[in-house]
Structure 1
């Protein structure tokens, strides 16, 4: 074969090797979420890629056939092509007895370099840079190769699946996307500077809605301002003035008998217009949905959506009221510090480096701020006050404290057995070995 034809053959083999390399890495690196988006935008090729990802056995069989065939042919064609060329170039400087060996080695190194660089490394880097767009472009040609090589692919697939089953490994690709995958992607985006810290926190808080229960965001019953059916006009006006909420529960006798709610705007309008009103008027009271305290925030959000509501009473398994929750409470959980004023913040760092924490602060917020990971048995309590009770194994009193992971938690304000304020201070555990309960 003429040397020019051999060089053309080598270039074609390098191109074929690059094709198989870029096809392999682009399909393996294509993200299911992005392919699904392309499919929804009407790209039929994205559906073909997704289908091939579900059963990738034939695809990888074709890839291996192609790569190995190219490598073998490259060695057959490449060595005799460049060895004579190097013999002529090296003849003046190389001893005759070593000329053949050195020329062969030089030819081997050149061909190997060409295939590694242009048939492997560069194609794979290109494929990793835009895997989805490249995979959809190559999918039809790959399906064509799978079709014409079907007998050989079938044999390789059967043998490889048998070996995979023998080893106890799955034969199908599992591309299910989990919430952990999304959080990891968001964290990577934040670390790379693609997401602002506030955006990262908001997305992570949205993912937390599935695991956070209603008590972590509700207003506890002792802080709920409500009206009774026998409430006087003066008492109603005073409560609205002292606690200017948009909506107030209406109860029969006590908070455990909620019958509905009234909108403060309706009350104000009637007062301005000089009209009298009575809470005993059933047409004046709107129905108030009840939700169990065992629901997650995402489930409550779905309930609000279905019932077109933004306010609900929270009850426990004994049908007793434990609090109320609003749509704004859930949104505040998602947005965090973005929608809180300094006066509303539940975790405040003081000038001396210590933290002042409200007892009703959700334990998830404490874990995030202090980077504790998962606190001991944190599924048994919802707030930092519950964490204090769990660690101390009693109803805490003023000045009760313990040390956990180098932080001292101390009760500094208690109201009727309810922990109101907690002081958290960074300490050296070696200097405080016997202060309260210590946990590792």
Structure 2
């Protein structure tokens, strides 16, 4: 073999070893990473966090693509090493042991063993050890590249999958189907079990609520900022104690002048206990540091945050760091089992039926409860507006903040603004109109 060709093959082997090492590093980083460690490296509001979590939750397709690349590298390394080494091994063995037959076959086996040694040591074991030191760091760094590799390999994977299915069909075997059970299938099974009496209706409602909760975010379940009873540290202990006594809240945000200068949270039980002991001179010592979560965080991840930090509440923030509201464990539980009224809450006051075809509705009435009560599947602008209350729906439908007595008609329902609380719709009169002939 000519020297230039040999040098070219040596360079190719080195490149292939590097590529295979990098692929094994990515594969190890993906299989060894954990989401709880991920949150210590980058904030959950970072876009890379969501993509990396998606990879960790469903790595199968990407791992299949990496296996395809790795096997290709192993094959190419073995072939290149064989082309270079076999001629030299044949000459060496002929001079060393000229009487031994099958020189070429022995050289072939030795070249395979040498290629295997290179691939396993430099192309597999070494990068795997490196990746295991900091798997999450490597995964975050190369998440986008992993998706690119997957997109490139996808056509080949599909072709191989179809070919394998055809071979199975020719041999008389049925290709494996998709064994994943969809959400709708589970709901159908539960509904059937309820009809047969195996499950109680309350149990079915609870399971439906859990499925619905998986689509909810912290923003949709939180108590909005405008509805929070908060404390101002400049008001002093006596004023704040009066606020705590007048409400049924267990947790209070405390700020300086406003909630944009948030200092933390205070538990009502701590303040009341201190008041009994005459130890309420300084509120600072009762302030706890809250955890902050983005408005887009999914409900189940909020629960994970609660467990990791051993808390029952979190402050919801927007992309600029401003306070949007407060979400508690009670809010999430109510999403599953229904509202748990406090002594001062009057659930019936949120919607009052005046006669057969008209209702007086609070602007803060939950939009999902409203849809369920009126048998509505979907409201206009529901996907893009992200409103959570009937008042929010009306503002979205008007396209501006309406005034008292303004109304809109949708389907056979007439929505009239009955009362405004500054810029918020406070009360709404809903009238069912006769169906058009």
TMscore range, shorter length: 0.5 to 0.7
Taking structure 1 as reference, are residues 225 and 172 closer, same or farther at Cα in structure 2, changes over 3 Å only?
A: same
Query: 2:346 maps to what in 1?
Result: 343
Query: 2:13 maps to what in 1?
Result: none
RMSD after superposition: 2.9
From 378, 394, 403, give the equivalent of 1:374.
378
CA deviations on 1:21-49 (whole Å, 9 max, x unpaired) are xxxxxxxxxxxxxxxxxxxxxxxxxxxxx
CA deviations on 1:256-310 (whole Å, 9 max, x unpaired) are 12221121111111111122431233xx311111111122322222221222211
More moved, 363-372 vs 387-396:
363-372
CA deviations on 1:126-163 (whole Å, 9 max, x unpaired) are xxxxxxxxxxxxxxxxxxxxxxxxxxxxxxx9677369
Residue pairs, 1:158-169, within 5 angstroms: 161=169
Taking structure 1 as reference, are residues 208 and 420 closer, same or farther at Cα in structure 2, changes over 3 Å only?
A: same
Alpha carbons 2:316, 2:326 under 8 Å: kept: yes
Query: 2:201 maps to what in 1?
Result: 197
Query: 1:52 maps to what in 2?
Result: none
Report the TM-score, using the length of structure 1 for normalisation. Answer: 0.55
Query: 2:334 maps to what in 1?
Result: 332
Query: 2:430 maps to what in 1?
Result: 424
CA deviations on 1:223-278 (whole Å, 9 max, x unpaired) are 21222332312211211122132121121331012221121111111111122431
Alpha carbons 2:351, 2:365 under 8 Å: kept: no
Alpha carbons 1:346, 1:361 under 8 Å: kept: no
Runs (5+) with no aligned partner, structure 2? 1-164
Report the TM-score, using the length of structure 2 for normalisation. Answer: 0.55
Distance 1:295 1:356 in 2: 33
More moved, 180-189 vs 237-246:
180-189
Larger radius of gyration: 1
Distance 1:253 1:242 in 2: 20
Query: 1:294 maps to what in 2?
Result: 296
Distance 1:238 1:158 in 2: 76
Query: 1:358 maps to what in 2?
Result: 362
Residue pairs, 1:183-262, within 5 angstroms: 183-262=187-266
Distance 1:293 1:412 in 2: 30
From 273, 276, 279, give the equivalent of 1:272.
276
Distance 2:386 2:282 in 1: 41
Taking structure 1 as reference, are residues 259 and 345 closer, same or farther at Cα in structure 2, changes over 3 Å only?
A: farther
Taking structure 1 as reference, are residues 243 and 214 closer, same or farther at Cα in structure 2, changes over 3 Å only?
A: same
3-state SS of 1:232 partner: helix
From 371, 392, 399, give the equivalent of 1:393.
399
Distance 1:346 1:180 in 2: 35
3-state SS of 1:195 partner: coil
Query: 1:310 maps to what in 2?
Result: 312
